[in-house]
Structure 1
Amino acid sequence: MEMSAVREAVADAARAVVLPEGIGALTSSGYVPDAVTEPHFFCGEYSVTFDRAMGRALDEVELTCRVLVGRADDRSAQTILDSLLSGSGPASLKQAIEVARGAPGDYALGGLAHDLHVMRMQGYRWYEHQGTQYVGAELIIKIIGEG
């Protein structure tokens, strides 16, 4: 798998979320940005387990993504974050990203991987990014593909 392309494809899929009126669109990037325009989703660190099948046939990646929301109002920021972290609905990052799995029998992320699954949310807390505080959380995505 070409991880730069995989990360960009995940970020593209995340842009499909629809936030409540008046909030604006989610910005997203396939890399850790210098600065964020909130709300912002980005792909961060990842780990790779090589050779899950013989002959370099399959690798498994755990991709850590973050979503950060501005904290002009603590309660409304957490309400926005909660909608992004929900398991379903128009603002659900899980739902938007898993659409990129494709139809049964198709490769995920436009052919970049065999499959993906948004496994869990963790780290719901305050984050500092480039000196600014945001409320945010991490999404852990499991991606499998050719080695």
Structure 2
Amino acid sequence: MSGIREAIAEAARVVVLPEGIAKLTCSGYTPDSVTAPHFFVGEFSVDFDRAMRRSLDEAEITARVLVGLNDDRAAQRILDAMLSGAGPASLKQAIEAARGAPGEYALGGLAHDLHVKRVQGYRWYEHQGTQYIGAELIIRVIGEGGS
């Protein structure tokens, strides 16, 4: 899972935020501290043996995006742009671009496919004593179970 987590963070790095906004920082793990705006891959669950002989596992990954609170309205506009389904700031679009071309494996060969399923938990988050506005993205990844 470490490679998959890092590959998702790498895919998210291509997000382009509006001019004047700091570049999105990304981590394939839950960081000790964040530099907002920050995207990181957090918890995951794995359903093993979705097909016979370890031929398919399915993971559901929870990623978070946190935005600083210098101005609550502006922060929410930035977050909304990252949570949209399309556009230069869309995390969904950036992550799903890592699916590869038809017939190619996703995430540089680490998975068969992936899909950003939904956004949830749009709310205030506290991370290491600092408040952020943020949300979770739920990402489904499927791949061969034997690896």
Q: TM-score range by the shorter chain?
A: over 0.9
Within 5 Å, give how 1:40-119 maps onto structure 2. 40-119=38-117
TM-score normalised over the length of structure 2: 0.98
Q: TM-score, normalised by structure 1?
A: 0.98
Identity of aligned residues (%): 77
1:72, distance to aligned residue in structure 2 (A): 0.7
Structure 1: runs of 5+ lacking an equivalent: none
Please state how far the C-alpha of 1:51 moved relative to its aligned partner. Answer: 0.2
Q: Structure 1: how far apart are the matches of 2:50 and 2:105?
A: 18
The whole-number CA distance in structure 2 between the counterparts of 1:12 and 1:39 is 15
Q: Give, as a single letter, the amino acid of the residue that structure 2 aligns with 1:104.
A: P
Once residues 110 and 25 of structure 1 are traced to their aligned partners in structure 2, the CA distance between those partners, rounded to angstroms, is: 24
Query: Equivalent residue for 1:146?
Result: 144
Alpha-carbon distance in structure 2 between the residues aligned to 1:51 and 1:137: 30
Query: 5+ unaligned residues in a row in structure 2: which ranges?
Result: none
Say yes or no: does 1:9 pair with 2:34.
no
1:132 to 130, 133, 136: 130
- Aligned alpha-carbon RMSD (Å): 0.3
Whole-Å separation in 2 of the counterparts to 1:82 and 1:26: 14
- Whole-Å Cα distance in 2 between the matches of residues 110 and 9 of structure 1? 8
How far is the alpha carbon of 1:24 from its aligned partner? 1.8
Matched residues, number: 145
Q: Distance in 2 between matches of 1:71 and 1:79?
A: 11
Q: Secondary structure at the match of 1:88?
A: coil
Displacement of 1:123: 0.2
Amino acid in the other structure paired with 1:146:
E
Which digits, 9 at most, give the CA deviation of each residue in 1:51-74, with x for residues without a partner? 001000000000000000000110
